[in-house]
Amino acid sequence: MGRSLSSLDLLEAESIHILREAAAQFERPALLFSGGKDSICMVHLARKAFFPAAFPFPLLHIDTGHNFPEALEFRDALVRESGARLLVRLVQASIDRGTAREEAGKFPSRNAIQAVTLLEAIEELRLDCCLGGGRRDEEKARAKERVFSVRNEFGEWDPKLQRPELWSNYNGRVHPGENVRVFPLSNWTELDVWMYIQREGIAVPSLYFTHKRQVIRRDGQLFPISEFVRIDPGDEVEERSVRFRTVGDMTCTAAVESNAQDLDDIIRENLSSGITERGARLDDRRSETAMEDRKRSGYF
């Protein structure tokens, strides 16, 4: 009798199939890499998909300049270990060119204007496919995305103009100027990702585990102290035992209080948490349609 496949086996097989389809259907794909758990899983799956050869596309990091130092250190270590080709495009360069405008205020976020830099990178590198780590369980706008999601010649996404995907048949044909976002982790959940990381022994940045960090409270959330956040005289700086469920900019990613020291703790915490994964992201709380608005204009 053959071995029965677990849910993680099936998800892994589907993701590897999607990665190979993307490599087969597109001429110039790139894997969008942020240093977060989802893009780290994508790199692991890509290495499996094309082993023993190297995976046939570069990593592309759209660097806002407001990153957690731990995420950048992890990114560089992973690139050294894997031999992957890393391309970095800077949001600051878009600001300097005048194509993106930086926000003012106490918590200026560069999250939304990453889309400008991404679209400029797509045009400069002539990318016809960007592989992303988005999952449908993260946020309702991401739940609307197909696995192969077409963007028009301006990089815009229209949720009403999506292609059917029946029996795992993915259509990557595009007109000149169009490109496709491909999401191999679409059918995974946050819990699946952590269980896979545990099963495969995948390293992740220390940010995901509990550590002592100075924070200030904003709208009931704990934001990390950094050079990018203005501290006003009335702000109370606290030291808390926290960790992060997502890795975004330091200006828009809140921490959660936690005692999770290892992957077992994170999985237990995930099972019992009443907070959504992106509930600690300020960028998603700006409006009811914040994520969809960003995606329509070219966001990840």
**Could you read off the pLDDT of 112-154 as tens digits, one per residue?**
889 999 999 999 999 999 999 999 988 777 788 899 999 988 8
φ and ψ at residue 280, rounded to 5 degrees: -100, 20
Q: What is the pLDDT of residue 274?
A: 66
Q: What is the pLDDT of residue 7?
A: 95
Q: What is the pLDDT of residue 104?
A: 80
CA 114 – CA 32 distance, rounded (Å): 12
For residues 194, 91, 145, 68, the Cα torsion angle rounded to the nearest 10 degrees is 10
CA-to-CA separations, 227 to 114, 141, 184, 230, 250, in angstroms, rounded: 19, 31, 35, 7, 9
The overall average pLDDT reported for the chain is: 89
Q: Which helix (H) or strand (E) holds 103?
A: none
Residues 136, 142: contact at Cβ < 8 Å? yes
Report the alpha-carbon angle 164-170-175, nearest 5.
85
CA 145 – CA 134 distance, rounded (Å): 9
CA 201 – CA 193 distance, rounded (Å): 12
Cβ-count burial of 96 within 10 angstroms (0-12 exposed, 13-18 middle, 19+ buried)?
A: exposed
Q: What is the pLDDT of residue 233?
A: 84
DSSP-derived 3-state class of residue 102: coil
Q: What is the pLDDT of residue 257?
A: 92
Q: What is the pLDDT of residue 212?
A: 96
Name the nearest CA neighbour of 214 among 203, 228, 224, 229.
224
Q: Which residues of the chain have pLDDT under 50?
A: none
**In the numeric block, which tokens belong to residue 169?**
């048949």
Alpha helix positions (H), the chain: 7-25, 37-50, 69-82, 91-97, 114-125, 140-143, 190-200, 263-272, 290-296
